[in-house]
Amino acid sequence: MIILRFIYEYILFFGIFFFLMNLITFALFHSDKRKAEKHAFRIPERDLLGFSACFGALGGILGMVLFHHKTRKPKFYVLVPLFAVLQLILIIMIFVYA
């Protein structure tokens, strides 16, 4: 609960962090899709999933849907939405328990 209270006290910082992580993750999915089309050096899957796990899941979902990228890979269509649900639960907990 101390962590939730800390995040609540610095909600502006957390909000900016959350927005930037989603923006970066969205850009990474876009960049990887373009690189895939050009058969260029790709962004590793662990990086895409890592950014999604670190509060960028909504950007990852948006990137998957808009660019039709990584939508057939079970690792992505299971984990990225799971990360989003867990992140939304944490955000709800911050406002309820802080």
So what's the pLDDT on residue 3? 85
- Report CA-CA distances (Å) from 53 to 4, 36, 57: 18, 22, 6
From the list 51, 64, 60, the residue with the least C-alpha distance to 17 is 51
Global pTM? 0.92
Mean pLDDT of 63-85: 97
State the sign of the Cα–Cα–Cα–Cα dihedral 57, 53, 9, 16: negative
pLDDT digits 0-9 by tens, 47-73 = 999 999 999 999 999 999 999 999 999
Distance CA(39)–CA(32), nearest Å, equals 10
